[in-house]
Amino acid sequence: MSKRSLDSCYELRRREIRQMVKDIHRKIGSPVNLGEQIALTTVKVMISTLWGGTSEGNTDLIELKKRLDEFVRLFLAPNISDIFPVIAPFDLQGIVSKSKKHLSWFYGIFESVIMNRLKLQDNRKKNDDKINRDFLQQMLELNQRGDGNSSLSNNEIKALLLDMMVGGTDTIPTTVEWAMTELLRHPDIMMKLVEELDTVVGKQNKLEETHLPRLLYLDAVVRETLRLHPVIPLLLPHTPSQTSIVAGYTIPKHSRVFINAWAMQRDPRFWDDPLRFQPERFFRGDIDHRGNNFQYLPFGSGRRICVGLALAKKMAAILLGALVHSFEWKTPSGTIPDVEEKFGVVLKKRESLVAIPFARLPNPEQYK
């Protein structure tokens, strides 16, 4: 997840994002379910970043997305066995058995991908061809080290692949969908973002990741979206290894602790007009998204901070930027998109965002 490693996979991400733009361009003037479109693109991008594309393992994208959604739902589903451990062996709700079935299916896919990659690797070595160092390739290199301290087993590689898929395929599209919703609700903010994209990127060019460092308003829009609509509102549960006292409260050893980031990021004691979508509040530069400011924890904090933070920020920005730079968006019948939430592990919109795209770039080649 280092900058160097992510940059080496850029062409893989770029391919899928350009395909998304091409697909949407075919639907000009017609309603597009942006939630579904962004989610499918994100799955493709994650697969491209992790193991280079959908061809390895013949991955069924629809089935993969469906199982990922179900696996996430089971991940934090209320389980009576957690409250009464004595009945855990009976798995009364079937959560463990269902999870194991999904896990077996995922590991079967990953095993096929790994075997195909090893065969391809051998062929390329024989022909002295260049080997693309995507996430899987780097994991296999660690696997083949033979060093007990830093090498990875096959099962550890599969677990890491699953972690990345689960962590990225729901959170990134949800963030982009919320961002598009807020932009459509605030045309003045949308116009500011369009002006920045036209100034930095230009209407004759395609948006590239190299533009991102100069797109300060785009970055502020993503940060403000993560503040107002944190993707994981209660973060992931934490478990203290020893009994601790925090602010006068005793937190027992091995208890399950949830951090209400949603409430903290809307607290009027820390935020001016907290329910207002205002990207400019992040121009001050004193609010860090890396967990150093406890009123803003979209990715968590400390040693348990989201390992995919760099990828998530990069992906959310490039996806949102591509949608706004390439198209002008209108809502059906001029309606204002709602911001009603569907509470869950991932804080999604209750109703998917539907909008109508219109081409705004002068050159048709820019949509290919």
Record the tokens describing residue 135, joined without a space. Answer: 């996430």
Q: Which residues contact 37 (CB under 8 A, 6 or more apart)?
A: 20, 23, 24
- Domains, the chain, with CATH or none: 3-367 (1.10.630.10)
At 261 the pLDDT is 94
Q: For residue 2, how many C-alpha atoms fall within 13 Å in the half-sphere facing its CB?
A: 5
Tokens of 181: 């919703």
The percentage of the chain sitting over the pLDDT mark of 70, rounded to a whole number, equals: 93
Q: CB 304: neighbour CB atoms within 10 A?
A: 12
Binding residues: 306
Q: At what angle do helices 61-75 and 154-169 cross, to 10 degrees?
A: 90
Look up the pTM and report it. 0.88
Give pLDDT, residue 17: 92
Task: Specify the range with the lowest mean pLDDT, choosing from 26-40, 124-138, 152-166, 209-223.
Answer: 124-138
Percent of the chain with pLDDT over 90: 50
Highest mean pLDDT among 43-47, 79-83, 352-356: 352-356
CA quadruple 44, 49, 55, 61: dihedral sign: negative
pLDDT at 271: 95
pLDDT at 5: 74
Q: Which pLDDT value is given to residue 53? A: 65
Residue 135 — very low, low, confident or very high, per pLDDT cuts 50/70/90?
confident
Q: Given pLDDT bands bounded at 50, 70 and 90, which one contains residue 55?
A: very low
**Which residue ranges are tagged as binding site for heme?**
306
| Per-residue pLDDT at 1 | 66
Q: Where are the beta strands (DSSP E) in 180-235?
A: none
Task: Give which of 227, 306, 305 is closest to 265, Cα–Cα.
Answer: 227
More confident residue, 368 or 243: 243
| Pairing relationship of beta strands 327-330 and 341-342 according to DSSP bridges | unpaired
Between 61-75 and 95-126, two packed helices, what is the crossing angle to 10 degrees? 140
Q: How far apart are CA 219 and CA 214, in angstroms?
A: 9
The 10s digit of each residue's pLDDT in 255-292 is 888 889 999 999 999 999 999 999 999 998 778 888 88
